[in-house]
Amino acid sequence: MTSRVFSGIQPTGQITLGNYLGALKQFVALQDQADAFYCIVDMHAITMPQDPSQLKERIKDLASLYLAVGLDPQKSTLFVQSDVSAHSELGWILQCLVHMGELSRMTQFKEKGEGKEAVSAGLFTYPALMAADILLYQSHLVPVGEDQKQHLELTRDLAIRFNTRFGDTFTIPDIMMIKQGARIMSLDDPSKKMSKSNPNPGSRIEMLDPPDVIRKKISRAVTDSDRVVRFDPEEKPAVSNLLTIFSLVTDKSIEEVVAAYDGKGYGDFKKDLGEALVAHLSPIQNRYAEIRNSGEIERLLQLGAEKARATAATTMDIVRQHVGLGS
Ligand code: AMP
Ligand code: TRP
C-alpha cells in the first residue's frame, strides 16, 4: 500500500524561506513516493483576525506557490480546507475528546496569545482542527517544521484515545522533519525562528523577494565576531543557520560548504549565499508569476476539493457510526 502524506500551510502573510525549506521542499520530494494531500488551511488562518478580501487573495497566492515550487496536481491533491466541511465536523468531535489541560500546554497558543487582550477560542482549540485535518485522510506521514512537533504529538495521542474509546478508526500518523532545516532561524536574531509575522522584514527571506532584496537581506544578516565559517549551532548559531540555508539551496553538504570557505571571511560567504538563493528562487518566482495570472488556480482547487471530499467522507461515515452520532 502506498503511504498517505498530509500537510498544510496557513494562507497568512508572505511565505518565507523557513516555510519552504522546513515544509514545502519536503512536500515536493514526497509527492513521487506517496499519495499526498496538501492543504491550504484557511480555517486555521481565521483563528487570528484576517481581512476577508486579503484572505481570498492569499489563498490563491499560496496555491500558486504550491505549483511554482513543483507540486504537480496530477500527483498530489491540492485543496483548500474550508472547501471540505468534514474538517470542521471532525474538528468539533475532536474538541470533545481533547482535554483543556492538553490545549493549555501548547506553546504555539501561548506565543500567539501572549500580550493580546482578546484571544479567540479557535486559537485555543486550533490543535483539534489540525488533528482532524490529518486524521480525516488516514495519513501515515506529516512533513512539518520543528514548531509543529507538539501539535503532531497531540494528534497521535488523540488518535490513540479515539481508537481506544470507540474502536479502531484512525491511522496513527508519524511526524517527518528534516535533520537540518526543520527550524530556520531569523536573519537578525538566531535565537528566534524565521517567521512570517516578525515585524522586521529584514529578519526573513520571503519566497517572492526580488533578487536585490535577497542580496541585501543576506549581506545584513547578523554573524559573529569570530570570522571563521564553521558549523557550530551552540557557539555560532547565526553562521550555522546561514550554512544550513546554503547547504539546502545548493544541495551540497554542510561539510562541503565549510570546506569551500576555509580561510575566507564572511564577506565572500554571504555574497555567494545571496547569489545561490537568487539562483534557486528566481525560477520559482518566474513560474509563480505565470501561474498566478493564468486563471487556472480556481479550477485546480475545485478538482482537489472533490478528491479530498470523497476521501474525507469515507472516514466520516466510520467516525459517525463509531461515536453513535446521527439519525
Ligand atoms: P505556517 O506558516 O505556520 O502555516 O507554517 C507552515 C509550515 O512551515 C509548517 O510545517 C511549519 O513548521 C514550517 N515552518 C514555519 N517556519 C519555519 C522555520 N522558520 N523553519 C522551518 N520550518 C518552518
Ligand atoms: N499548524 C500548522 C502551522 O501553523 C498548519 C497546519 C494546519 C498543518 N493543519 C495541518 C500542518 C495539518 C500539517 C498538518 O504550520
Quick check: CB of 28 below 6 Å from ligand 1?
no
Mutational test site, ligand 2, from 5, 6, 7, max ligand atoms within 8 Å of CB: 7
**Which residue minimizes the CA distance to atom 10 of ligand 1?**
144
- 3-state secondary structure at position 261: coil
Instruction: Write down the pLDDT at residue 229.
Output: 96
| Closest by Cα among 139, 244, 136, 119 to 185 | 244
For 163-220, the pLDDT digits (tens) are: 999 999 999 999 999 988 899 999 999 999 999 999 999 999 999 999 999 999 999 9
Instruction: Write down the pLDDT at residue 281.
Output: 98
Quick check: CB of 186 below 6 Å from ligand 1?
no
Instruction: Write down the pLDDT at residue 5.
Output: 98
| Closest by Cα among 22, 23, 53, 18 to 40 | 23
For residue 114, is pLDDT > 90? no
Is 112 annotated as catalytic? yes
In this structure, CATH architecture of domain 4-183+296-323: 3-Layer(aba) Sandwich (3.40)
What would the mean pLDDT of 300-320 be, rounded to a whole number? 98
Confidence of residue 113 (pLDDT cuts 50, 70, 90): confident
For 146-174, the pLDDT digits (tens) are: 999 999 999 999 999 999 999 999 999 99
Quick check: CB of 9 below 6 Å from ligand 1?
yes
What does the DSSP 8-state code read for residue 37? Answer: E
Question: Which whole-number Å values give the CA distances from 257 to 42, 249, 276, in the listed order?
Answer: 38, 11, 12
Instruction: Write down the pLDDT at residue 116.
Output: 85
Is residue 316 within 8 Å of 90, Cβ to Cβ? yes
Instruction: Write down the pLDDT at residue 117.
Output: 84
Instruction: Write down the pLDDT at residue 1.
Output: 66
Atom in ligand 2 nearest the alpha carbon of residue 9: 5
Mutational test site, ligand 2, from 139, 148, 170, max ligand atoms within 8 Å of CB: 148
For 235-254, the pLDDT digits (tens) are: 999 999 999 999 999 999 99
Is residue 106 within 8 Å of 95, Cβ to Cβ? no
What would the mean pLDDT of 83-100 be, rounded to a whole number? 98
For 49-76, the pLDDT digits (tens) are: 999 999 999 999 999 999 999 999 999 9
The full set of domain ranges for the chain reads 4-183+296-323, 208-289
CATH number of the domain located at residue range(s) 208-289 in this protein: 1.10.240.10
**Which residue minimizes the CA distance to atom 15 of ligand 1?**
19
For residue 89, is pLDDT > 90? yes
Cα(200) to ligand 2 centroid in Å equals 24
What is the residue-averaged pLDDT of the chain?
A: 96
